[in-house]
Amino acid sequence: MTKNNNTDYRKKIYRQRHHRRMKLVESGIGVVVAVIMIFALGQGNLKKNVNGQEEFQPESGTSADISESSTQDMSYSDTEGAAQQYLATAEDAAIPDQRNGQYVQFVNYTNPDVSGKGADKYDSNIYMPANATDDQYFSTSLLIGDSRAEALGLYSGVDNWDMCVAKNLDIEKVANTKMFTCDSGEQCTVVEMLGMKSYENIYISFGLEELSWYNERYMLAYKTLLDQISQLQPAANVYVMSVLPVSAELSSKDQVYNNPGVDKLNSLMQEMCGSYDQVIYLDVAHSVSVDGVLPEDAGIDGKHCNKKYCLKMMDYIRKNVYVRR
pLDDT at 125: 94
**E-assigned strands of 4-125?**
46-50, 53-57, 107-108
The SS3 call for residue 299 is coil
**What number of other Cβ atoms are within 10 A of residue 227's Cβ?**
14
At residue 230, does pLDDT exceed 60?
yes
Average pLDDT of 268-287? 96
Model pTM above 0.85: no
Does residue 31 or residue 242 have the better pLDDT?
A: 242
**E-assigned strands of the chain?**
46-50, 53-57, 107-108, 127-132, 141-145, 162-165, 180-181, 187-188, 201-205, 237-241, 279-282, 321-324
**Proportion of the chain above pLDDT 70, given as a percent:** 68
pLDDT at 1: 55
pLDDT at 185: 86
Tell me which of 2-16, 159-173, 271-285 is least confident. 2-16
At residue 244, does pLDDT exceed 90?
yes
pLDDT at 104: 63
At residue 51, does pLDDT exceed 50?
no
Does residue 90 or residue 279 have the better pLDDT?
A: 279
pLDDT at 57: 41
Burial 12-23 (b: 16+ CB within 10 A, else e): eeeeeeeeebee
At residue 188, does pLDDT exceed 80?
yes
Does residue 193 or residue 93 have the better pLDDT?
A: 193
At residue 90, does pLDDT exceed 80?
no
Residue 247, CB-side half-sphere exposure with 13 Å CA sphere = 14
Q: Please give the domain boundaries of the chain with CATH numbers for all domains.
A: 3-95 (no CATH), 99-324 (3.40.50.1110)
Residues forming a β-bridge with 60: none
Does residue 68 or residue 159 have the better pLDDT?
A: 159
Structure confidence at residue 314 as a pLDDT band (50, 70, 90): very high
Backbone angles phi, psi at 231, to 5 degrees: -75, -40
98, exposed or middle or buried, with CB in 10 Å at 0-12, 13-18, 19+? Answer: middle
Tell me which of 85-99, 207-221, 236-250 is least confident. 85-99
Q: Compute the Cα dihedral for 57, 60, 65, 71 and give only its sign.
A: negative
Does residue 253 or residue 43 have the better pLDDT?
A: 253
Going from the C-alpha of 194 to that of each of 7, 148, 175, 191, 277, the distances in angstroms are 24, 21, 11, 5, 19
Average pLDDT of 40-48? 42
Tell me which of 18-22, 156-160, 228-232, 270-274 is least confident. 18-22
At residue 9, does pLDDT exceed 90?
no
**Mean of pLDDT over the chain:** 78
Q: HEC string of 168-232?
A: CCCCCHHHHCCCEECCCCCEECHHHHHCCCCCCEEEEECCCHHHHCCHHHHHHHHHHHHHHHHHH
At residue 216, does pLDDT exceed 70?
yes
pLDDT at 3: 53
Torsion of CA 319, 320, 323, 325, to 10 degrees: 110
At residue 109, does pLDDT exceed 80?
yes
8 Å CB contact between 165 and 144: yes
